Structure 1
Amino acid sequence: MFTSSSRAHDEALLTFRNPDPLDWVDPLRFGRGLAAGTYRRDWVWLAFVDDQPVARGVWWGPVGSVHPIELHCLLVDATLPHPEVWGAALIRSAHRAFADAGAILAPDLVVDVAPHRRHEPAVEAALEWRREAAKAAGLPVVTERMLGAASGAAPDAAAGAGIGGESGVDAGPRLRVSYSARALTAGSASPLVGTAR
């Protein structure tokens, strides 16, 4: 079962974790985002099997946004085969609901990685299944860019909150890998892909 979150799901949402080498939305980061209005319960999606959470997606939007613009955290239980299938199904379910609520653009999936870890086998594997999930969900365009001191660009506040500790990504420069439905060129916005209207 794929469903958006509610207060009844808080324990499942906050305790679900995965030994993943990529940045993720931990309970502190989620609580701060919830208080600020950049994370919302109806923008958080969970997959359950036998009442146990097996996948989680946390979408983000700027304060005051009607719809989310980025998927900040996509986790799938490490014991499940084919995480890309679960991830794609979760993304499609959420995007369908966002489209039904009036969203016209598919939110990007964004993943932050410590640059010095980019080519570690565990990081490569984690990025690969997310790339496959994003592609199957209609987000085939992949871009990578540096954030922080190395690029001269300031990290956005939402991405910086909660980074470090167990997430494996320090607060210094980081690589942001984005999976999108559209190329990053002027006037190239694409509507939600693969969603029923």
Structure 2
Amino acid sequence: MTDVTLRPITGPDEIDLFNRLPYTLNHELADDLAEGRRQPGWMWLALRDGRPVARVAWWGRGGEPTPSLLDVLDLDDDVPDATEVASALYEKAAAAVLPPGATPPEYGRYLPADWRDDPGPVHTRMSVLEKAGARLTVERLRLEWRPDAGVPAADPRLSFRAFADHDELIALTARALDGTLDAHSRADLAELSPHDAAVKHYEEEFATFSSPREWWRVATVDGEPVGFVLPARNSYHAIIAYLGVLPEHRGKGHVDGILAEGTRVLAEQDVPRVRAATDVGNTPMAAAFARAGYVTFERAINMAWN
């Protein structure tokens, strides 16, 4: 590795330089900088003769002093020593960006739906972080519903209402975590009680949405809760943020009606699309999304430091 400069970008004026390496998130980076979800000091380049050989970038919610996700790690696959350069870049950037001694934030990367037909580039990028101590934790489906698919049919067995209060949201989330197939939730439950894991879900995700809480729905049968769905908007899209069926009511087909209600709530906002995600291993949820007209447009992998 010779004649390479490793440094953060100087500001928004270098977004075009940063985006010379292609990735599906490139079109969002300028807005992220403007909205405070990224900072120039969190976006690093490896330059040789003024050309990017590799880059890394972290993301955080606006106003956070440290990032919560590593979501950009790219390299020029035509440069023979690009993997070595990318490793050196990550090591130097992480030392500058992350608090000393802290566990690095999880890495998430979006992938083409057919990425396994040519896995080499993905494995190359994974190898950079494996060298730094990260390990693959899960592969996820990224799903999308569009209005031309039609709003899924309602389930006449189900009625819907708002959550009574914050405590009910936490209590139902804790109950829905029993038997979960979601890898992140299972990791949380290895260290936390269901109640504390539910609180973590709320504080790190649910509470960050600016969309109305009135969109959130509890599904009931004869007045008894059987599940719930949280339609929402994040900083980029309308999403199905969370869907849970309570353990004692699983296997009765309620998931279809609950997902239909969440989709209907967002469709009434005239959104161009609704996004969702689920683990590849969560085959029941993936099947429910498919029945509701959601299609897999990308996949994603997550890596974490244990």
TM-score, with structure 2 as normaliser: 0.46
SS at match of 1:62: coil
Change in 2 beyond 3 A, CA 1:47/1:134: same
In structure 1, distance between residues paired with 2:74 and 2:57: 9
SS at match of 1:138: coil
- Residue matched to 1:185: none
Does residue 2 (structure 1) correspond to residue 10 (structure 2)? The answer is no
- Residue matched to 2:18: 13
In structure 2, distance between residues paired with 1:142 and 1:156: 26
- Residue matched to 1:120: 117
Larger RCO: Structure 1 or Structure 2 (Cα < 8 Å, ≥ 6 residues apart)? 1
In structure 2, distance between residues paired with 1:143 and 1:11: 32
In structure 1, distance between residues paired with 2:96 and 2:231: 32
Change in 2 beyond 3 A, CA 1:6/1:129: same
| Per-residue CA distance 1:96-154 (angstroms, 9 max, x = gap) | 1123x557231222111243x13221xx1121001111111221243212344599997
Count, aligned residues: 163
TM-score, with structure 1 as normaliser: 0.69
Whether the 8 Å contact between 2:136 and 2:301 is mirrored in structure 1 is no
Whether the 8 Å contact between 1:83 and 1:129 is mirrored in structure 2 is no
Change in 2 beyond 3 A, CA 1:69/1:6: same
Change in 2 beyond 3 A, CA 1:158/1:125: farther
Does residue 97 (structure 1) correspond to residue 96 (structure 2)? The answer is yes
- Residue matched to 1:110: 108
- Residue matched to 1:192: none
- Residue matched to 1:73: 72
In structure 2, distance between residues paired with 1:156 and 1:103: 34
Whether the 8 Å contact between 2:58 and 2:68 is mirrored in structure 1 is yes
| Per-residue CA distance 1:11-66 (angstroms, 9 max, x = gap) | 4223x124xxxx5331x311111122111111100001123221111211112211
Change in 2 beyond 3 A, CA 1:54/1:114: closer
When the two chains are superposed, the root-mean-square deviation of aligned CA atoms in Å is 3.2
Whether the 8 Å contact between 1:33 and 1:158 is mirrored in structure 2 is no
In structure 1, distance between residues paired with 2:34 and 2:62: 10
Change in 2 beyond 3 A, CA 1:153/1:91: farther
Whether the 8 Å contact between 2:106 and 2:305 is mirrored in structure 1 is yes
In structure 2, distance between residues paired with 1:53 and 1:160: 30
State the percentage of identical aligned residues.
20
Whether the 8 Å contact between 1:4 and 1:42 is mirrored in structure 2 is yes
- Residue matched to 1:63: 62
Does residue 44 (structure 1) correspond to residue 43 (structure 2)? The answer is yes
- Residue matched to 1:132: 127
In structure 1, distance between residues paired with 2:232 and 2:55: 24
In structure 1, distance between residues paired with 2:236 and 2:65: 19
In structure 1, distance between residues paired with 2:42 and 2:124: 22
In structure 2, distance between residues paired with 1:160 and 1:136: 34
List gaps (5 residues or longer) in structure 2: 146-181, 183-228, 239-293
SS at match of 1:80: coil
Whether the 8 Å contact between 2:46 and 2:89 is mirrored in structure 1 is yes
> CA shift at 1:71, angstroms?
1.8
| Per-residue CA distance 1:74-104 (angstroms, 9 max, x = gap) | 12123212433222222111111123x5572
